[in-house]
Structure 1
Amino acid sequence: MSLFLRSLLSHLLLSVAVAAMGLPAQAESLPVLRVGVTDGSQPCSFREGGIWRGLAVDLWSRIATEEALPYVIKAQPDTRALLQAVQSGEIDLAVGCLNVSPERLQRVRFTLPFQEGGQAVLVQRSRIDVGRAILLSLFSPDLLRLLGGFLAATAVVSIALWRIEGLGRQPSTERDGQRRSFARLFQILATGPGTNTVAQTTRGHSLVLVSYLIRIVSASLLVSFVTLNVVRQPQFGGKEAIRSIDDLAGLRVAARRGSVSEELLKKLNRAGASPPVRILPLQTIQQGGRLLLNDQADAMLADELQLEYLSGQLAGARLDRVLRGIRTESQAFALAPGLPEGIVERIDLRISELKRNGVVAELRRNALVAR
């Protein structure tokens, strides 16, 4: 019996020793990941007081902590250099709100996307620009035609009702005059109050009903037109009317170096934009805001999330985001070709879990509030 106990104790001690030796060996086998980030890409990644912050940085820090992945941060000058470094294997992981564009997907490996994002245009507008845009909308040919159609239709119904009801022969008409009486009838049919007093015959009541239909249909069309073309018009009011990406031709447009925004502008120039877009390269998002406020740029093209952050920082300035949702794409981290699949799977699974639990959405809100 004692021999059996000694044998069992020996096996237990041996197992504990092997386990104790195996843990350091496993820790030593886990590589220290070289993580690349860029500064000036608020609210995704930026350096403040010597500390890296932002939505993407916080998300990666959460993943690395929960997965026990050791890493060291290596700063990169811009997005183009960041992607080149991860593609060449100089770094293992590129952290940022990197758009998974078709061009990038052909040469770079990405993690599971953690959010969707599109491009938008930021412009500055003065009070004069706003007033001019509203006046142009109010006196637009479409609005004038719509008003003219309503008045013409009401006039036709008024003439028909005038004749059917014989209003020209009534004593009130002889007393007030035909012109004034007809104007009163036209006003009643155009505005509504008093329509129950202008008709006595069945055909007359039918015409009153027709005038009611004309009035409500015209009112609906006018409200829709004003909402779409007058209320929303000022956001397009700037030095030039910007209603599509092609309207950036000939303008001074700021964009971050190596970003999807810069590539989109270059693509527009290659497509034959005349005159071509004058691209103003930016190192940081804040530089674009200063260029707009100093009238050194006509517009700024960037991720909608970045422009939302910048607009919040410059809340007192008259800056508007227009053309939202241009080329919406997924955003993810970029991976080096030689990064082990086991680590990639752990990162993807953790991203999926954090998205499902609402952590990514919370980090996004915090990044915008922290401005």
Structure 2
Amino acid sequence: MAAALAFVLLAAASGSMPRAANAQGATNTHELVIATKEAPPFAMKDKDGNWEGISIDLWRHLASQLKLQYRFVEAQSVGALIDGLHAGNYDAAIAAITVTPAREQAIDFTTPYFHTGTGVAVQTDRMASWMPVVRSVASYSFVQAIAGLLGLALLAGVLIWLFERRNNEGFGGGVVRGLSSGVFWSANAMTQRVDASIIPITLAGRVVAIIWMVVSVIAIAVFTAGITSTLTTKRLHGIVNSVGDLSSVRVGIVQGTATQDALTRMRIKYTTVPSPKKGFEALRKGRIDAFAYDQPILAWMIREGGLSAELSGVRFEPQDYAIALRGGSPLRKQINIALLEAEQSDWWRDVLFRYLGQTTN
């Protein structure tokens, strides 16, 4: 009896082993649906319509290592990739997908394979580069500075008239004539063009005149230095030199990206466009002053497309690119292991150098 029971248990155990192996094999032989979208140089099509790029090459490498069967399908936006994964239409998605808290709630991500940030592209046309200067001259702060100087000149002119009107014919002749003479004299004094035929003769008038001449020299020097510095900086270095400058220009972003969330948090107004190509088109046509998007993609599009734009040097909102997976995907652990091994290999450094001209990110 005991021998028979042992035989039955042995047969059941031997029968379960192939089933477990088959279950593992089914995971690797099932054709996975991998969604992607145009995001050069991470995902793009060659002239024959075949997918290539940093992320595409990485997925092919991982699939080869793990012996995964797959096919690529194209989506129109990152939002469509996330929604398709959440709905179960795709098994994974890879392009230039940024890991965010909101996306992590809907789907899973692998360990990040690329670290970058948001860059800002600005126009380099000669005419466009003068636009910051024009806007600075027409800005509220510039008008304030001019109004301040005129106010000081008016105050000095009024004081001169009050002290000189009864003793000096040059500032007499009625309120209108006297005031206009006083203001005209103070304006001339401010520009160091004093008319010797009309000068203060009273003690109080001369004290005011001396004080005004000293103050006006300092005020003009500060005003000139400030305006020259601002205009030169904007003319030579562009309209965006820091993240704070984005608040005073027309910023364009791609709708549904992590950049949109970042600018919303910083309370910076922006205009949305459907794609990076449309963003550069809006920049070229002058509908926006700056285009904020993932820095390596901006650099690639400017270099490869021969666009009349340049990166401003501003970089903000660090981003991590990762492979997006369905929530609870059984592939996550094995992909992570293969991904970490790939990142430490010479193969990965060669891929980055081929597409970006660099070996690290």
Structure 1 residue 29: deviation in Å? 4.7
Q: In the alignment, is residue 310 of structure 1 matched against residue 301 of structure 2?
A: yes
Aligned equivalent of 2:243 = 245
CA distance in 2, matches of 1:325, 1:251: 16
Aligned equivalent of 2:36 = 37
Aligned CA-pair RMSD: 3.5
Q: Give deviations 1:43-63, integer Å, cap 9, x for gaps.
A: 111233321121111110111
Q: Does structure 1 conserve the Cα–Cα contact (< 8 Å) formed by 2:123 and 2:129?
A: no
Q: In the alignment, is residue 359 of structure 1 matched against residue 350 of structure 2?
A: no
TM-score (norm 2): 0.59
CA distance in 2, matches of 1:22, 1:267: 49
SS state at 1:291 partner: helix
The count of aligned residue pairs is: 248
Structure 1 residue 351: deviation in Å? 1.1
SS state at 1:96 partner: coil
- Taking the TM superposition and a 5 Å limit, the aligned residue runs for 1:132-143 are none
CA distance in 2, matches of 1:289, 1:264: 20
SS state at 2:96 partner: strand
With over 3 angstroms needed to count, the CA separation of the structure-2 counterparts of 1:20 and 1:280, relative to structure 1, is: closer
SS state at 2:322 partner: strand
Aligned equivalent of 2:312 = 322
Where does structure 1 lack aligned partners over 5 or more consecutive residues? Answer: 1-14, 137-227
SS state at 2:329 partner: coil
SS state at 1:297 partner: coil
Q: In the alignment, is residue 282 of structure 1 matched against residue 247 of structure 2?
A: no
Q: Does structure 1 conserve the Cα–Cα contact (< 8 Å) formed by 2:31 and 2:69?
A: yes
SS state at 2:251 partner: strand
Structure 1 residue 130: deviation in Å? 5.5
SS state at 1:98 partner: coil
CA distance in 1, matches of 2:132, 2:50: 44
TM-score (norm 1): 0.58
Aligned equivalent of 1:93 = 92
- The residue type equivalent to 1:301 in the other structure is A
Structure 1 residue 26: deviation in Å? 5.3
- The residue type equivalent to 1:121 in the other structure is V
Q: Does structure 1 conserve the Cα–Cα contact (< 8 Å) formed by 2:120 and 2:290?
A: yes
Q: In the alignment, is residue 104 of structure 1 matched against residue 95 of structure 2?
A: no
Aligned equivalent of 2:192 = none
Aligned equivalent of 2:123 = 124
Q: Alignment partner for residue 329 of structure 2, among 339, 354, 358?
A: 339
Aligned equivalent of 2:166 = none
- Taking the TM superposition and a 5 Å limit, the aligned residue runs for 1:184-333 are 236-237=237-238, 241-249=239-247, 251-268=249-266, 271=267, 273=268, 276-277=269-270, 279-283=271-275, 285-315=276-306, 317-333=307-323
Where does structure 2 lack aligned partners over 5 or more consecutive residues? Answer: 1-13, 137-228
With over 3 angstroms needed to count, the CA separation of the structure-2 counterparts of 1:119 and 1:21, relative to structure 1, is: closer
- Taking the TM superposition and a 5 Å limit, the aligned residue runs for 1:158-169 are none
Structure 1 residue 291: deviation in Å? 2.5
Structure 1 residue 355: deviation in Å? 0.9
- The residue type equivalent to 1:78 in the other structure is S
CA distance in 2, matches of 1:365, 1:89: 35
Structure 1 residue 66: deviation in Å? 1.7
SS state at 1:90 partner: coil
CA distance in 2, matches of 1:232, 1:69: 54
With over 3 angstroms needed to count, the CA separation of the structure-2 counterparts of 1:81 and 1:133, relative to structure 1, is: closer
With over 3 angstroms needed to count, the CA separation of the structure-2 counterparts of 1:361 and 1:262, relative to structure 1, is: farther
CA distance in 2, matches of 1:319, 1:74: 32
- The residue type equivalent to 1:309 in the other structure is W
CA distance in 2, matches of 1:60, 1:96: 10
Query: Identity over the aligned pairs, expressed in percent?
Result: 21
Aligned equivalent of 1:4 = none
Aligned equivalent of 1:220 = none
SS state at 2:72 partner: strand
SS state at 1:97 partner: coil
Q: Give deviations 1:213-258, integer Å, cap 9, x for gaps.
A: xxxxxxxxxxxxxxx9999865642xxx323334333644332232
Structure 1 residue 260: deviation in Å? 1.1
Q: Does structure 1 conserve the Cα–Cα contact (< 8 Å) formed by 2:241 and 2:314?
A: no
CA distance in 1, matches of 2:334, 2:34: 16
